[in-house]
Amino acid sequence: MFALSPDGRLFAIDTDGVVTLGDVARGDIIGEIETGRGQAVGLTFGDSGRALLAVNAAGQMVRILTDPEAWLARACAVAYSKESIDRWIVDAPAGSRPPQRCTR
């Protein structure tokens, strides 16, 4: 299964439930995402290309964010979660600080 984003900048291929997201211009693979739902019978970009929908034969759908701003927001949410900060306090080298690129 294959899909091309509305602006033609991204492509997605599903192989046995692993969606590979790539950059068309560079031909680079951005990443692979396991859907946990088996092989898709349908792939389509939605939200003006900011998300990819994968549907399996049973009709189960997975929404995969493709927008870098959404990835950054998710990464920052994880980095500044209470659990992450608690782990940082215990496991980080003395004197180090959590990542400073995220805004709270």
CATH code: domain of residue 9:
2.40.10
Identify the three-state secondary structure at position 91. helix
Phi first, then psi: what are they for 23, rounded to 5°? -95, 120
The pLDDT of residue 91 is 87
- pLDDT over 70 (residue 104): no
Whether residues 10 and 39 fall in one domain: yes
Whether residues 6 and 40 fall in one domain: yes
Whether residues 62 and 73 fall in one domain: no
pLDDT digits (tens, 9 = 90+) for 58-94: 999 999 888 877 777 777 888 888 888 888 888 888 8
The pLDDT of residue 68 is 76
pLDDT digits (tens, 9 = 90+) for 9-34: 999 999 988 999 999 999 999 889 89
Whether residues 11 and 56 fall in one domain: yes
The pLDDT of residue 87 is 84
Domain that holds residue 74: 68-104
**Domains held by the chain: number:** 2
Q: Give 3-state DSSP helix, strand, coil % of the chain, rounded to 5.
A: 25, 40, 40
Tokens of 12: 């997605």
